[in-house]
Amino acid sequence: MKSIKEINDIIQEDNLIDGLIKSNGLYVLVAKPKVGKSLLALQIANSISNGIPFLDMIASKQPVFYISTELNEKQLKDRIIKTGYTFEDNQFFYAIKSTDNKLNIREDLYLDITSFIEKYNGKLVIIDMLSGIDYQIGYDLNNYMDMDKVISKYRELINKYNLSFLLIHHTNKNGSTLGSTGIEGFVDGIFYLEDNKNNNYSFYSSSRDFPSFNINLKRNENLSFEVVEEDDSKIDDNLITFIRYVIDKHEITFTPAEIVSKLKLFITPSKFGKILNENITRLELEGIYITKNRTSTSRNYTAKFIEPDEN
């Protein structure tokens, strides 16, 4: 018999970052090139290896193994100095690819990961980047079955060593994960980092184990990301995309799920429906008028654009 406090303690201890990364989990962090996903990954490593909050979320202090396929040792050292991160010897480890070859998942990483587990009881391995590893198989990034084989390599390590993995990857020109949809389908959670320009960023998390969320970030002078307090006057970025679409089409009938899929929004259908209903009056100021159409089997919306009166 356990008390509720004991249950809560067990659940918290099972998370590397509460609300974001659990033990024995497989996650992907994606963004366009040069947005800062490697910096964000290093910030995650800093939070977990030191047991300090990540974007205001509690982190459990655990050893981290950071594997970079893009940085050399000097670049990694310079980045750590610039950010001001301090890593303890037995809490942070790294591996860098050789000059000419990719890191081999079996010959290189299996040996390092075994040492990471057996000597230091390591818990998180960050792979920066997913495509920079030699998986010992020929694969097509856009092939669903091929990516299943690639992701299975990580599941094998997770099950064998009681690890969590964070894989860093690119988005395509539409903002979705580059390659097969299987990449998103095979993992436990996916994180999107989007550059909104002028040092403003959006960080969106979609996970099987935690509620989805979307927060605004800025990057400080030390290259670390910080949470920006919500501004009630600012329209949600997903809503702005929706407004542009309605203005272009003049009138549409839709469900939240259809809009999320059509516009590739970084939000769940239920949350978009909530935001829509909370901003009916605000949308009318922009010339977007929403009506709800309920039937016995569905709940549709109609959005109509009428050029607003500038007066």
Question: Is position 171 within any domain?
Answer: yes
Is the pLDDT higher at 98 or at 134? Answer: 134
Identify the domain containing residue 246 by its residue range.
237-305
Predicted confidence at residue 237, as pLDDT, reads 86
103 and 252 inside one domain: no
257 and 144 inside one domain: no
Share of the chain above pLDDT 90, in %: 64
Is the pLDDT higher at 28 or at 99? Answer: 28
138 and 110 inside one domain: yes
Predicted confidence at residue 97, as pLDDT, reads 80
Predicted confidence at residue 11, as pLDDT, reads 45
Strands 92-96 and 213-219: unpaired
Predicted confidence at residue 48, as pLDDT, reads 97
Q: Which of 24, 45, 56, 22 is closest to 210 using CA atoms?
A: 22
61 and 182 inside one domain: yes
209 and 243 inside one domain: no
Residue 41 has pLDDT above 70, yes or no: yes
Question: Is position 61 within any domain?
Answer: yes
**Per-residue pLDDT tens for 140-192?**
999 999 999 999 999 999 999 999 999 999 998 877 899 988 898 899 999 99
Predicted confidence at residue 49, as pLDDT, reads 97
Question: What is the tally of structural domains in the chain?
Answer: 2
**Per-residue pLDDT tens for 55-79?**
999 999 999 999 999 888 999 999 9
Q: What is the pLDDT averaged over residues 114-142?
A: 93
Sheet holding 213-219, edge to edge: 92-96, 64-68, 124-128, 164-170, 26-31, 189-195, 200-207, 213-219, 225-227
Q: What is the mean pLDDT of the chain?
A: 88
**Per-residue pLDDT tens for 186-232?**
999 999 999 988 888 989 999 999 988 888 899 999 999 999 875 55
221 and 245 inside one domain: no
Predicted confidence at residue 152, as pLDDT, reads 94
The model's pTM: 0.73
